[in-house]
Amino acid sequence: MSKSKKIPPNLFLEGIRNKDSLIIRSVMKACLPMVTNHVLKNKGNKQDAEDLLAEAFMVVFQKAKDPKFSINYAVSTYVFTICKNLWLKQLRRRKFKDNGDLSDIEMAILTDDVLALMEKEERAKLYQEKIKMLDKQSQYILFLFYREKNSFKEIAQIMELKSPGYAKKLKFLAQKKLIKLVKQDPRYEELKS
Amino acid sequence: MKKKDLFLFFMQYSQGIISKEDKIKLEKLLKKFPELSEEWEMHLELYEILSDSDTAEFRDWIVDLIKNVSSQKDFSNSKAENQDL
């Protein structure tokens, strides 16, 4: 696919649903420079831009689960607007003065459900970040329990623990540590309100 | 003790095996100790986030793809491409 070829919104949504890397990469190549330029001009860095773009794609991924969902704007406008709004929120949280209001098109894109998904994604990202801060054993037990849906008996076998009861205790402690880490992060309170 | 009860209820709840009686007990517990509501909400949220494999896999995939696209070009010094995409 040519880089300059315009991707219709329905094709983009199909690409998201089917994890089509060709389509998604093409959209990323168009959006990443826009997002990076915007973030660099507004007190952020390259990593912030990449994180924002990932969050925006996650919002579209959640929206695309609804087969009736459609995008009535250019794909790059849609994705960039989500990034722009996410960045505005982050700047406000970091107590920076934000620079400017959103245009009418941008306001139209940011419907209540999109805003709610953005908040949900920010909270999910916070949990994911904190999971990575846990020790390997805690990460593994949470992975086996939640992602792989293993029973405590199975977890005890996989991790060579003395009993399912002990696996249950370890999982409880891992979860407790995770919740403590999330609660300690100042973003937790901000994302709650 | 309260937190232990909450965790026990949560385990049953997340496995879909909570009895009607325990569900009522849970509701009473949350009503009696509002401070536990936040803990309960966090358990639910954590469960929703961690058990949603599709979303987690998609997130990992997207993050890798962005890193890959970003490493191919230094976007910080380039003008936006394909703005009409």
pLDDT tens for residues A145-162?
888 889 899 999 999 999
Residues A90-98 have a mean pLDDT of 71
The helix (run of H) or strand (run of E) holding residue B43 is helix B35-51
pLDDT tens for residues A42-71?
889 999 999 999 999 999 999 999 999 999
* Cβ atoms A102, A85 nearer than 8 A: yes
Inter-chain touch B49–A4, beta carbons under 8 Å: no
Dihedral over Cα of A66, A56, A77, A19: its sign: negative
Q: Among B22, B26, B4, which residue's Cα sits nearest to residue A175?
A: B4
Inter-chain touch B81–A25, beta carbons under 8 Å: no
* Cβ atoms A182, A188 nearer than 8 A: yes
Find chain B residues with C-beta within 8 A of A36's C-beta.
75-76
Find chain B residues with C-beta within 8 A of A58's C-beta.
55, 58-59, 62
* Cα within 13 Å of Cα(A24), Cβ side: 27
Inter-chain touch B85–A27, beta carbons under 8 Å: yes
Distances (CA, A) of A57 to A25, A128, B84: 11, 16, 18
* Cβ atoms A16, A61 nearer than 8 A: yes
- Is this prediction's ipTM beyond 0.90? no
